[in-house]
Amino acid sequence: MNNLSSETRPENLPKLIRDIQLQLLMLENETYERYHEMQELKGSHTVAILGEIDESGKRRFSNEANRELELNRRLNEDAAYQTAKKWHSEKMQEKKKMEIEIEYLKNTFEWALAQVRR
């Protein structure tokens, strides 16, 4: 146990775990907000696609498959959507790493408690 840094010493682990959990909560809130921004952009494109009429007065995208293809095309060309999507993806990876770190610290703390109880 002497090779542990002062931050990861068993007596400091509960506070470290709590700090990371709070960071994770803030990250989840940011991610949630960004996800809803993406959904709003997607919704705007969907409404536009549903409202498009061709020269003959018929819906331009009359079937679901064509609407889905057009939506994907527009989202791929939408810089704001792509930026939000990239940010969201990166933060989801960060979130997963934080969850793994929390689990590791909890296991380390439990192991340290078991050593003390011997």
Residue 21 in domain: yes
> Which is more confident, 47 or 117?
47
What pLDDT does residue 6 have? 62
Q: Rounded to an integer, what is the distance from CA 118 to the centroid of its chain?
A: 41
Total domains, the chain: 1
Query: How far apart, in whole angstroms, are the C-alpha atoms of residue 95 and residue 23?
Result: 9
**Mean pLDDT along residues 51-71:** 94
Euclidean distance between CA atoms 44 and 2, whole angstroms: 58
Cβ neighbours of 13 (radius 10 Å)? 19
Q: Could you tell me the sign of the dihedral formed by the alpha carbons of 6, 10, 14, 18, in that order?
A: positive
The structure's pTM equals 0.76
In terms of residue numbers, what domain contains 75?
A: 11-113
Q: 53 forms bridges with which residues in the sheet?
A: 59
46 — pLDDT class (breaks 50, 70, 90):
very high
**Vertex 101: Cα angle to 96 and 106 (nearest 5):** 125
Instruction: Tell whether 58 is covered by a domain.
Output: yes
CA quadruple 91, 92, 95, 97: dihedral sign: negative
Angle at 101 between CA 98 and CA 104, to 5 degrees: 155
Report if residue 1 sits inside a domain. Answer: no
Mean pLDDT of the chain: 91
Condensed to tens digits (0 to 9), the pLDDT of residues 26-41 reads: 999 999 999 999 999 9
pLDDT of 25 higher than 70: yes
Give the C-alpha separation, 42 to 54, whole Å.
22
